[in-house]
Amino acid sequence: MSEPPSHPSAVRYDPQWRKRISAGEQPAIHANGLEHFYGSGDLRKQVLFDNNLEIYPGEIIIMTGPSGSGKTTLLTLIGTLRRVQAGQLHVLDRALHNASNNDLLQLRRDIGFIFQAHNLFDSLTATQNVRMALELAEPNGNRADQTQRCRDMLESVGLGHRTGHLPKQLSGGQKQRVAIARGLVHNPRLVLADEPTAALDEQSGRRVVELFRERAEQEKATIIIVTHDNRILDVADRIVNLVDGSIRSDVLVQEAAITSQMLMRCDVFKHLTPRSLAEMADHLVSETFEAGTSVIKEGDAGDKFYLIRQGEVKVLRGSEQELLATLGEGDFFGEMALLLDQPRNASVVTTEDTVLYSLSQDQFKQAISQQASFESEIRTSLFDRQ
């Protein structure tokens, strides 16, 4: 069995995430060691490698990555459209790796599927296509009530004037909006959307992602969107990137933005581009220290750069423990030992429970080299203008 290249992933700190865990909220999706193969014998090909993922109710996840990276395969495993072959997968409190066919059938009633290919029935009107999802989820529901709910849903995606039209009478973008209405009409706890806005103009696409946001905030629906559409990245709570069948990064968007702004306060990083800062932020690792803990000791070798995400530390020097500085959220330390390749010139001790983001020596040097390259490009550009 071939193995993809390994990629480090950051352990993100998020106050809301910790609050959920401490409150005992269970993830809507939990994958552990998830793998998948196509074919058998000599033709067997592995497409997912040892993936671990937790997604909580109310989160909107955007899944990105190159074509063939395994995004759609992972989406269909979560949606019960493929059987789990290796690893464990729990979806909406059900274990899919040992689920019966009846278990899977019951689970699908709580899932809204939005396919890139629309998958509409040519002989049914827009309303009838949408009602198919309601009839499957609520087989004993009132038919008149279901019809009205379908029309209201079509109205919300801007198709109130097309409720009686057949698919052949609709444009590609209108068909896509019918598919979106069908995926949302039964108020699913989990929405799985494959390129839902690819065929939509900017206004229609924005209306759709706002619908997603409303469902996440008001109904605590969990929403996973596979997309290459950069216009909708702002709706995401997290962006999960798959490369060669493995989750390379799992980034809390708001946290990455905050961290990048903090890093810009450090002189050695202030000239990095936003992309380089975001990439560096993705390599930061969260470390938690109780009050009174020694983070680094004077004279030790320097192996990490630290950014204070929450809490406070004191910088001390010498046998008398002379106080040099008190640092708090957004401050940083440890860069001089890495820049000069010298031992630590002071000790750092936490004064309260503190969360630090650390960057390894290798990643720190890589960031510095990127800045040097950036400055070299600026000098060359200025020289070329003369």
Above 50 in pLDDT, residue 374?
no
Q: Report the chain's mean pLDDT, rounded to a whole number.
A: 84
Each residue's pLDDT tens digit, 111-165: 999 988 888 899 999 999 999 888 888 888 888 898 999 999 999 999 999 999 9
Q: Which amino acid is at 198?
A: A
- Cα R_g (the chain), whole angstroms: 25
The span from the CA of 153 to the CA of 158, in Å, is 9
CATH topology of domain 15-255: Rossmann fold (3.40.50)
Residue among 232, 260, 286 nearest 63 (CA): 232
The span from the CA of 70 to the CA of 384, in Å, is 44
CB neighbours of residue 375 within 10 Å: 11
**Out of 59-73, 243-257, 319-333, 370-384, which region has the weakest mean confidence (pLDDT)?**
370-384
Above 60 in pLDDT, residue 9?
no
Above 90 in pLDDT, residue 339?
no
Q: Where in the chain is the domain with CATH 3.40.50.300?
A: 15-255
Please report the pLDDT score of residue 230 as a whole number.
82
- Bridge partner residues of 229 (DSSP): none
Each residue's pLDDT tens digit, 69-119: 889 999 999 999 999 899 999 999 899 988 888 888 889 989 999 988 888
Residues 6+ apart with CB under 8 A from 214: none
Q: How confident is the model at residue 344 (pLDDT cuts 50, 70, 90)?
A: very high
Residue with token string 């596979």: 226
Q: Which residue has the higher pLDDT, 142 or 375?
A: 142
Q: Where in the chain is the domain with CATH 2.60.120.10?
A: 270-380
3-state secondary structure of 267: helix
Above 80 in pLDDT, residue 3?
no
Compute the average pLDDT of residues 271-282.
Answer: 73
Helix then strand then coil, % of the chain, to nearest 5 = 40, 25, 35
3.40.50.10790, 2.60.120.10, 3.40.50.150, 2.170.260.10: which CATH number matches 270-380? Answer: 2.60.120.10
The span from the CA of 381 to the CA of 386, in Å, is 9
Each residue's pLDDT tens digit, 175-233: 999 999 999 999 999 999 999 888 888 888 899 999 999 999 999 999 999 988 888 88
Above 90 in pLDDT, residue 359?
no
The span from the CA of 242 to the CA of 248, in Å, is 6
Q: HEC string of 294-335? A: EEECCCCCCCEEEEEEECCEEEEECCCCEEEEEECCCCEECH
CB 88 within 8 A of CB 32: yes
Please report the pLDDT score of residue 200 as a whole number.
86
Above 50 in pLDDT, residue 311?
yes
For CA atoms 255, 256, 261, 262, the dihedral sign is positive
Q: How confident is the model at residue 14 (pLDDT cuts 50, 70, 90)?
A: low
Residues above pLDDT 70, as percent of the chain? 88
The span from the CA of 330 to the CA of 348, in Å, is 16
